[in-house]
Amino acid sequence: MKMYYDKDVDVKALANKTVAVIGYGSQGMGQSQNMSDSGLKVIVGLREGGASWQKAKDDGMNVKTIEDAAKEADVIHILLPDEIQADVYEKSIAPYVKPGNTISFSHGYNIHFKYIKVPEDVNITMIAPKGPGSMVRRTYLEGFGIPGLVAIEQDATGDALDVALAMGKACGLSKAGILETTFREETETDLFGEQAILCGGVTELINAGFTTLVEAGYQPEIAYFETCHELKLIVDLIYEKGFAGMWNDVSNTAEFGGLSRRDRIINDDAKKEMKKILSEIQKGKFTKEWALESTAKMPMLNRMRELESEEKIEKVGSKLRKACGLEKKAKEKEEKVVVVNFDKTKKK
Ligand SMILES: NC(=O)C1=CN([C@@H]2O[C@H](COP(=O)(O)OP(=O)(O)OC[C@H]3O[C@@H](n4cnc5c(N)ncnc54)[C@H](OP(=O)(O)O)[C@@H]3O)[C@@H](O)[C@H]2O)C=CC1
Ligand SMILES: CC[C@](O)(C(C)=O)C(=O)O
Ligand SMILES: [Mg+2]
Ligand SMILES: [Mg+2]
């Protein structure tokens, strides 16, 4: 394991260089604001008239079209949705890429699965926060950061790693640590994690538990607290202290019940299916399915979104989060991030 911390990284690798962050969504907003606050010369590259154009301007960012940003930049950091990156790269970035430039990503998808081809005299790097964009910004403002991954696919200039690490430090990632990986490892593990555990697995687990309790006649609000709300508190314990720390904090009854029954839920069938999901990712089957879906303008994704919004747990959850003041608290946290940027705009 090779881990880099603040002391190992010199942002000088980006002195006199311009970083164009293409996209101002979840990651684009957090990363461009952090890099700008850390003293890097940052341009945000966007399509004119898109929803984020005005937002980035209001946040005090230097906004240009994607073509102009690519022309001016030494480092082009592509933070667009994965499914549209290849199209935008081909039309609006590739014509302006110069020898010695760096094309950078926060997910290896388009390079690993060969949707984007970059000239040999250009670096291909990755600096990937291991968490959502809002947390990249929030933890930076709190004076810390979330951990990140760094990978180099092509080192044309001999200092591609220094460039990628400097971006990571400016984003706040080397405070928690930046772990070295490859494009293949990051891409396949990230896709597996979000499908089987973090986003797919956990929502299905929560909803299955919630539905079991509600169908057995318990109050939906009690079922929501038990299967969803409390999950965060338990995961926080695991996050901070590992399984042992969590078991130590819960009752002996919970520890005995949990340890003796958990493999009836995540059983051999579930493990077999996890292996199948991983294999679909490795063989490019998932990627093909996703490419077809996005070319067809997301019919399945839109249908699944609609169905989930009609789930009882979503309705009960929304009501309870309001009643407990949790939605208000989350909104205040988001506004705090924006307020900092408004202040910055006024200063300029
Ligand atoms: N979301 C996350 O937390 C994480 C994401 N990543 C990776 O980071 C990258 C960015 O993901 P994420 O931040 O979620 O992306 P988002 O979906 O949040 O990106 C939205 C941005 O992309 C722009 N955009 C969308 N469609 C187009 C288009 N057709 N042409 C030009 N611009 C367009 C939007 O501009 P407009 O307003 O004009 O539509 C907006 O600025 C991906 O590679 C992802 O895998 C990695 C780790 C975590
Ligand atoms: C877990 C989802 C993620 O991989 C992430 C936030 O890291 C993503 O693609 O958004
Ligand atoms: Mg991820
Ligand atoms: Mg991901």
Instruction: Note the pLDDT tens digit of each residue in 175-233.
Output: 999 999 999 999 999 999 999 999 999 999 999 999 999 999 999 999 999 999 999 99
C-alpha 58 – ligand 3 centre gap (Å): 28
286 lines ligand 1 (CB under 6 A): no
**Residue 346: predicted pLDDT:** 38
Instruction: Please tell me whether 33 is known to bind a ligand.
Output: no
**Residue 263: predicted pLDDT:** 98
CB 99 within 8 A of CB 121: yes
Residue 348 has pLDDT above 90, yes or no: no
Whole-model pTM: value is: 0.94
Residue 341 has pLDDT above 60, yes or no: no
- 130: Cβ–Cβ under 8 A, 6 or more apart, which residues? 146, 147, 148, 149
Residue 347 has pLDDT above 70, yes or no: no
Spatial separation of the C-alpha atoms in residues 27 and 61, rounded to whole Å: 15
Across the range 327-338, mean pLDDT stands at 76
Ligand 2 atom closest to Cα of residue 26: 10
300 lines ligand 2 (CB under 6 A): no
Which residues does the annotation mark as catalytic?
107
Residue 108 has pLDDT above 50, yes or no: yes
Residue 261 has pLDDT above 90, yes or no: yes
Across the range 42-63, mean pLDDT stands at 96
Query: Domains (ranges, CATH) in the chain?
Result: 3-181 (3.40.50.720), 192-338 (no CATH)
Assembly ipTM: 0.99
Residue nearest ligand 2's atom 6 by CA: 132
CB 73 within 8 A of CB 123: no
Residue 344 has pLDDT above 70, yes or no: no
**Residue 331: predicted pLDDT:** 80
50 lines ligand 1 (CB under 6 A): yes
C-alpha 102 – ligand 2 centre gap (Å): 23
